[in-house]
Amino acid sequence: MIANILRERKNGNYATYIHNRYINYSNICILSCQFCAFAAKKRDGHAFEYAIDEIISAVRGALPLRITEVHMVGGLHPTLKKEWYLDLLRRLRALDPQLHIKAFTAIEVRHLAQRIFRMPIRNTLETLREAGLGSITGGGAEIFDPGVRDQVCRGKETADEWLDVHRMWHEMGGRSTCTMLYGHIETPAQRVDHLRQLRELQDETLGFTGFVPFAFEPSQSHGVLANIKRASAFEQLRNLAVNRIYLDNIEHLTAYWVSLGLPLAQVSLNYGVDDLHGTILEEKIFYMAGATTPQQQTVAALEHAIREAGRVPVQRDSYYRHLNGAGRIDRSDERELICA
C-alpha cells in the first residue's frame, strides 16, 4: 500500500512503456560470470558476433514499426576494434537522427576505455557520444557487495568502478538507468546496501532516470548458483515495493516483463511500478539463461495489460518522458518532464 501511494504521488495513474529494438551484438566475452548463460568464448558453439551490416539491417527493418530506441549491449569482446564501435554508432545515427541509441553497460565502457580505445573513461564516453551514443544502460551492476561479486562474477569491475562510470556520464550531462540482479546468494541486507549506494549517487548527480531490478534466472547457471531456486512471485513483488519506498529520489520503477512475465508485471503496477519497459524486439540474454516468457510484446499487448490493471497507458521516450501519438514529447503535463 505504501509503495502504491508513493507511485501515484510521483507518476499519477499513468503506466508507461517504450517501443524499442534490442541488439545483442555479440556474446563473446573475456569474463566467465557464474550466473551468465549468455557469454561465450570464441571457440564455443553458441558464440555469435553480428556484422555491422546485419545490425543496421535489423534496426532498419524495425523503423517502420516506429521504434524510438535501439537498446544495445554485448559481451566484453577481446578483439573488436575502436572503429568498429564508432562506425556502428555513426551508421545507426544516420538511419534516423531521432532514434535514441541506448548502449553499453558501465562494464563495457570500462572495457572499451582500457582495452580497446586505450584512453581515459571520460574521453571514451565523449568519443562514443560524438559518434551517436544517447545514453548508457544500467546493466552489470549485479549486487554491489564485494563478497557476493567475488563468488558470482569474479573479475568483473567493482561496485565503485560501476558507479564511477555512471557518475562521469551524469557529470557530462548524460542520463542512464540503474539495475540490480537479486534472488541468488545475496542477503536482504546486501540488497538494501545496493539500493543505498544507488540512492547516494542519485543524490549527488540526479542522473538516473529509472531503476530496473530483475530476478536471477537459475535454469542455466552453474557453480555456487547451480541449485538456486527462482525467486517466487511474492518475493519479486515485495522486492519491487521495497525498491519504490527506498529509492525515493529515482522517479521511475520499471518491471522488466522479460524476467517477471507480463502477467506478474501487470500485477506489479499496484506494487510501486509505473513502467513496463518496452516491446523489446529480440532480447537474448535472459532467453539464453532459460527464460520462457515471449520473445517480444506488441504495443497493443502492453497497453492492454496496463488498462486491465486500471492504469492509463502512455508511450514514453528513453528518458521516461511521455510521448504523444506522433512520437513526440507530450508537454500537456510539464510534471512528466522531471527526468528530462
Percentage of the chain exceeding pLDDT 70? 85
pLDDT of residue 287: 37
Could you tell me which residue, 207 or 37, shows the higher pLDDT? 207
- What's the 3-state SS for 255-324? CCHHHHCHHHHHHHCCCCCCEEEECCECCCHHHHCCCCCCCCCCHHHHHHHHHHCCCEEEEECCCCCEEC
At 333, list the grid cell.
Answer: 503535463
Closest CA to 288 of 86, 44, 5: 44
Cell numbers given for 258: 522479460
| Element housing 285 (H / E) | helix 285-288
| pLDDT tens digits along 60-92 | 999 998 999 999 999 888 889 999 999 999 999
pLDDT, one tens digit per residue, over 194-237 is 999 999 999 999 999 999 999 988 765 556 676 788 899 999 99
Sign of CA dihedral 156, 158, 159, 160: negative
Residues 309 and 58: beta-carbon distance below 8 Å:
no
**Number of domains composing the chain:** 1
With cell 521516450, the residue in question is 317
Per-residue confidence band for 283, with pLDDT thresholds at 50, 70 and 90: very low
Give buried/exposed letters for 296-328 (b at 16+ CB in 10 A, else e).
bbebebbbebbeebebebbbbbbbbbbbeeeee
pLDDT at position 288 is 44
User: What CA–CA distance (Å, rounded) separates 316 from 299?
Assistant: 12
DSSP 185: S
Query: All 3 cell numbers of residue 315?
Result: 508511450
Which residue shows C-alpha cell 523489446? 280
> Is residue 221 assigned to a domain?
yes
Question: Are the beta carbons of 280 and 296 closer than 8 angstroms?
Answer: yes
Q: Give me the residues paired with residue 208 across strands.
A: 176
**pLDDT single digits (tens) 40-65:** 677 777 788 999 999 999 999 999 98
Task: Kindly state whether residue 236 falls inside one of the protein's structural domains.
Answer: yes
Q: Is residue 15 one of the residues assigned to a domain?
A: no
The confidence score (pLDDT) of residue 47 equals 82
Q: How does pLDDT run across 178-191, given as a tens digit for each residue?
A: 999 999 999 999 99
Residue 13 lies in a domain: no
* Domain containing residue 267: CATH number: 3.20.20.70
pLDDT digits 0-9 by tens, 295-312: 468 889 999 999 999 999
186 within a domain of the structure (yes/no): yes
For residue 14, is it within any domain?
A: no
Domain enclosing residue 216, as ranges: 2-8+20-337
The length of the chain, given as a count of residues: 340
Q: Tell me, what's the pLDDT at 40?
A: 67
